[in-house]
């Protein structure tokens, strides 16, 4: 995963205040969200649906391209099982922004690039997407994926 | 635009409390966000980029499928100009959820369905997408689109 752009301490303090959290908590929350994104990247590349599920809220929603929204853990799991049966990913995420908007909510905007292999045919081709994650902090203090959608940044196939 | 499912007063009061706003403010905020979505739907169907821009935050981000993210008003405007030059939409939005997470932030999950006409050829075909909007409340009290991404829910073209 590519490193995020560093901001100044003053800017970070202002963002923490605007999210209603102390600076140390804000930095801990960002680290935790970055860790969720890194684990998600690894789980995708390992086709590991069980690991993906550890990152989602129970009522999480997964909105993959070419599918209706998958609402709740059971539907989300079925959707990832389908994805990993169909394709194998080799991708790297870059974080464009992580924005905490309240003590319990944050969002992240990322892009991912690499290769996708169609399992049925072995065809391997370049892949590039953009993603929007909404994270919720559980009572346990863990940050979970509450909503997640992506779309390709490649031009349409002719 | 299709009507949103009604919730009980007790459930609404709990959601308002969890977002940190009074019930009356919460309901006013939902109405305002619903109005932004309705105006957005109308602006898309009218190919009206100027109207779309009145709905976006100055630092808003538009993440259309088949494009890199467009960051900031100038890039967002150019992207909509490109969209409306290329296609004409006849779509209706359905709201799956509006969730306010703090006094100043909310998100909405929608789906849209209808037809798209390719302006260059006149070809008209069915269109179906899912959308995730993040809204920010400005100091003026207006809700603006801060981040917006969509992806098709149709199967890939063969």
Q: Which of A5, A59, A65 to mutate to test the interface with B (most CBs of B within 10 A)?
A: A65
Taking alpha carbons only, the member of A143, A118, A119, A145 closest to residue A131 is A145
Both structure tokens of B37: 């979505």
Please state the rounded mean pLDDT for residues A135-156: 96
Angstroms from A46 CA to nearest CA on chain B: 24
Q: What whole-number percentage of chain A has pLDDT above 90?
A: 91
- Angle A52-A48-B152 (CA atoms, 0-180°, nearest 5)? 65
> Which residue of chain A has the CA closest to B69?
A130
Decide if pLDDT at B158 tops 60: no
Q: Cβ of A153 and B104 within 8 Å?
A: no
A6 near A13, Cβ under 8 Å?
no
Give A156's DSSP letter: P
**The pLDDT of residue B65 is above 60:** yes
> What's the mean pLDDT when you consider all of chain A?
95
Q: In angstroms, rounded to a whole number, what is the distance separating the alpha carbons of residues A57 and A35?
A: 16
DSSP string, B21-53: S-HHHHHHHHHHHHHHHHHHHHHHHTT-HHHHH
Across the range A79-99, mean pLDDT stands at 98
Chain A CB contacts of B152 under 8 Å are: 65-66, 151
Q: Is the pLDDT of residue B129 over 80?
A: yes
- Binned at pLDDT 50, 70 and 90, residue A2 comes out as confident
- The contact set of B with A (CB < 8 A) is 20, 61, 63-69, 96, 101-102, 104-105, 107, 109, 111, 130, 132, 134, 147, 149-157
Q: How confident is the model at residue A100 (pLDDT cuts 50, 70, 90)?
A: very high
User: Taking residues A30-44, what's their average pLDDT?
Assistant: 98
Between strands B56-63 and A70-71, the pairing is: unpaired
Retrieve residue A90's tokens: 């080799």
ipTM of the complex: 0.94
Nearest to B109 among A101, A147, A157 (CB): A147
Per-residue pLDDT band at A7 (split at 50, 70, 90): confident
> What size, in residues, is chain B?
158
> Taking CB atoms and an 8 Å cutoff, what residues of chain A touch B109?
61, 63, 69, 147
Instruction: Provide the pLDDT for residue A98.
Output: 97
* Substitution target from B15, B17, B107, B108 for chain A, most A beta carbons within 10 A: B107
Phi/psi for A86 (5° steps) reads -85, -40
To the nearest whole Å, the CA of A35 is away from the closest chain B CA by 22
Report how far residue A83's alpha carbon sits from residue A65's, in angstroms, rounded to the nearest whole number: 11
What number of other Cβ atoms are within 10 A of residue A155's Cβ? 8
pLDDT band at A4 (very low <50, low <70, confident <90, very high): low
Contacts of A66 in chain B (CB under 8 A): 151-156
Portion of chain B with pLDDT greater than 90, in percent? 91
Q: State how far the alpha carbon of B12 is from the alpha carbons of A51, B21, B23, B34, in Å.
A: 34, 11, 8, 16
Exposure b/e, A46-81, CB count within 10 A at least 16 = b? ebebeebbebbbeebbbbbbebebbbeeeebbebbe
Q: What is the model's pLDDT at position B117?
A: 98
Q: State the burial class of residue B3 (Cβ atoms within 10 Å of its Cβ: 0-12, 13-18, 19+).
A: exposed
**Rounded Cα gap, residues B27 and B34, in angstroms:** 10
CB B111 within 8 A of CB B53: no
Verify whether the Cβ–Cβ distance B132 to A130 is below 8 Å. no
Question: How many whole angstroms separate alpha carbon A62 and alpha carbon B157?
Answer: 22
User: Which of A65, A96, A156 lies closest to B69 in CB terms?
Assistant: A96
Q: Extract the tokens encoding B118.
A: 């390719």
Q: Compute φ and ψ for B14, nearest 5 degrees.
A: -65, -40
């Amino acid at each position: 995963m590519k490193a995020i752009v560093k901001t100044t301490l003053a800017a970070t303090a202002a963002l923490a205040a605007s999210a209603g959290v102390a600076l140390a908590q804000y930095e801990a929350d960002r680290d935790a969200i970055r860790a969720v994104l890194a684990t998600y990247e690894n789980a995708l590349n390992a086709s590991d649906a069980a690991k993906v599920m550890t990152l989602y809220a129970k009522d999480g929603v997964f909105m993959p391209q070419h599918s209706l929204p998958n609402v709740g853990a059971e539907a989300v799991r079925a959707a990832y099982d389908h994805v990993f049966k169909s394709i194998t990913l080799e991708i790297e995420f870059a974080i464009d922004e992580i924005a905490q908007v309240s003590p319990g909510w944050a969002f992240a905007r990322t892009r991912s690039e690499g290769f996708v292999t169609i399992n049925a045919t072995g065809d391997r081709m370049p892949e590039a997407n953009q993603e929007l994650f909404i994270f919720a902090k559980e009572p346990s203090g863990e940050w979970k994926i509450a909503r997640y959608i992506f779309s390709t940044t490649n031009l349409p196939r002719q």
